[in-house]
Amino acid sequence: MANDVSDILPDFVRGARSDAERRAVASAIALPAHVVQAKGHGHAGTAMAMAPLAHVLFQRVLRHDPADPTWEGRDRFILSAGHASLLLYTQLHLTGYGLELADLAASRSLDSRTPGHPELGHTPGVEMSTGPLGQGVAGAVGLALAARRDAALHDARVWDPTVFVLAGDGCLQEGVSAEASSLAGTLGLDNLVLIWDDNAITIDGGTEIAFGEDVRARYRSYGWRVIDVADARDLDVLETALRDGAMRDGQPTLVALRSVIGWPSTAIGGTPAAHAGGFGAEEVAAVQAMLGFAPDAVLEQLVEPDALAWARQAIERGAALHADWDRQRSAWASANPEAARRRAALEAGSAQPGARGGSDPDAGDALALLDAIELPEQGTPVATRKTNGVVLQRLQQWGGLFGGSADLSGSTNVAVPGSAVSAIEPGGDFVHFGIREHAMAAMLTGIALHGLWRPYGSTYLAFSDYQRAAMRLQALMAAPVIHVYTHDSVAVGEDGPTHQPVEQIAALRTIPGLSVIRPADAAEVVAVWRRVLEQPDGPVALVLSRQDIPALTDASVRHADAAAGGYVAWQHGDGRAVAILATGSEVHLAIEAARRLAAEGIAARVVSMPCWEWFEQADEAWRDAVLPPALRARVAVEAGRGDAWHRWVGLDGRVVSIEEFGESGAGAAVLERRGITVDAVLAAARSAIAR
């Protein structure tokens, strides 16, 4: 290039268009090395080696606006290799997102704006909480899926961001990235660019010790296009690769970028030692000198005024991109007022009619659709998975939900009308995730981050174990994801202990921020859905029965009662002799036991607790009314591990639970063998009263 100054400046990078740009890249390399050495901990190696790539992305390619980090029209960048957080924070500082050098220096410190791994909502410009390797890749696939659907349903000229994600060897070794990448190729997500930092180093040594596969061939077999970049230092080559990767050609793109971790360090670079920890004072001084800084330069001297001024041009560039996009959106809204109204309703999270393009504009809002569901009469046996299926089909008319199942839509009753998303129909009504439970959960994170739809995914409860890492991140981000689980206990029956969940409900309840919901009958299913839609404050796990269970005494459960997480479902007299607490399919057992106690003149009450987490959030007066503190004779019954129920029944209480795996046999027989019976509840109640 005529304006390439490579011939007159030190050759640590090529393709810079001015000395100021080259110095900005030098700053981006030097800052992580200096910060980690000063702190004595952290991850500088990837942040240094990928600094030219991040510079090109944020300065030349990415559509973003530092003055408005949540601008709707922006492209997305997800750092799946979240340990390299300084790579992102450095660019956020240089391009004007409000991070200062002091914030970089305080990285990994308590209350800093720069935590050890990126956290959504904590640092402006961070699109997703990352750190557990592979989660960012799968989340980016979900985000690209939702964005592509948005473009198909509305206007691809306006609503069509590119999703860039940076992954390392560790991300590609984790199975979740393989699951998600396979589906991305099948669906033809050509708005997705996965940048692989191919540095051939992991903590224990070279990748050859455990990772000898041909990654490029693997991705080609998934249906991806692969672009090879042999030199991570050439800015123009990097720009060309990223722009080519973002072209809409029917395939997602893998940019395979060869690099040397810790570059340009000569003593530490290219070794496992570059992954974490300081490089040593002498080596950092040598790196700074190589980049044109004084060997003893302090942090503030590593960002020269001319370089910072050049980098901050990203603010003007972003403002221009933003203004141009606003004009395009306004023109689209004027030409498509009905589509604009519907999309605006989705943006606002509003339960308005016909939010999805093509749905019935007279369908009524989501809550009205729920209210119109006909509930079974008292005693009528209906599996809660069936009622949940009715709910999903009704809400399809609203259009605010989007999801699918892990190859179980018929069995988990999440099948909805319409067509599946595919490479040729990106605006489909639901997703076939395939047998990819982990990727499905992680992709739901990305769909939630896109923001238009409440995502849902479904599988058997026993397989929630595959999904825990993704669910934990969702809880950390308060992402409003809906997990639909069926086959909720050993009542699954003949499929045997491999498919009979025992410990899963208890395990899910240990995830902070995840609401575990186990409704007792059709009425509770509808009632809890109402709260889920009205208060989208984080992920939920909706746990449903395979077997039929009878409708409770009052089919018109008051929505507020179920939304409070626990309420008195049945009572004799003042109900102050004994309280029987239960969830899901065990509530009807509790009521039958309470009736027998009532026949003996014992004032029993049954407390249905569809969601512990909601009950904990309810006001104290409500909790005390449902479970009077003086009422110490309490029994809990649930067809699963009962350890944590002791917090609700106290030292004087009893727990009827299952503490071992199930067996292969009819569900009712397995329940009886494992002690989930009316007689067992009665015995526990009498023991609690006696105490």
Q: Does residue 675 contact residue 663 with C-beta atoms inside 8 Å?
A: no
Beta strand spans in 500-566 (E) = 515-517, 540-543, 549-550
Which residue in the list 174, 239, 283, 437 is annotated as catalytic? 437
> How far apart are alpha carbons 525 and 529 in whole angstroms?
6
DSSP letters of 194-251?
EEEEE--EETTEEGGGT--S-HHHHHHHHT-EEEEE--TTBHHHHHHHHHHHTS-SSS
> How far apart are alpha carbons 17 and 21 in whole angstroms?
7
Residue 437 annotated to the active site: yes
Q: In a 10 Å sphere around its CB, with 0-12 CB exposed, 13-18 middle and 19+ buried, how is residue 411 labelled?
A: middle
Q: Which two tokens stand for residue 55?
A: 């510079």
Residues 6+ apart with CB under 8 A from 289: 295
HSE-up of 525 (CA within 13 Å, CB side)? 28
Beta bridge partners of 550: 381
> How far apart are alpha carbons 464 and 501 in whole angstroms?
9
Beta strand spans in 321-395 (E) = 381-382
HSE-up of 615 (CA within 13 Å, CB side)? 24
- How large is the angle between the packed helices 522-534 and 384-395, nearest 10 degrees? 40
Q: Which of 638, 589, 587, 647 is nearest to 616 (CA)?
A: 647
Q: How many residues are present in the chain?
A: 691
CB atoms within 10 A of CB 298: 11
Report residue 135 CA to chain centroid gap: 8
Q: Does residue 30 contact residue 291 with C-beta atoms inside 8 Å?
A: yes
> How far apart are alpha carbons 127 and 446 in whole angstroms?
10
Which amino acid makes up residue 23?
Answer: R
Q: Does residue 566 contact residue 610 with C-beta atoms inside 8 Å?
A: yes
- How large is the angle between the packed helices 587-599 and 678-690, nearest 10 degrees? 60
Beta bridge partners of 671: none
Residues 6+ apart with CB under 8 A from 519: 384, 525, 527, 528, 542, 544, 562, 584, 610
DSSP symbol at 585: G
Q: Which two tokens stand for residue 258?
A: 């060869």
> How far apart are alpha carbons 519 and 614 in whole angstroms?
13
Report residue 575 CA to chain centroid gap: 42
Q: Does residue 34 contact residue 270 with C-beta atoms inside 8 Å?
A: no
HSE-up of 163 (CA within 13 Å, CB side)? 29
Q: Which residues are catalytic?
A: 437
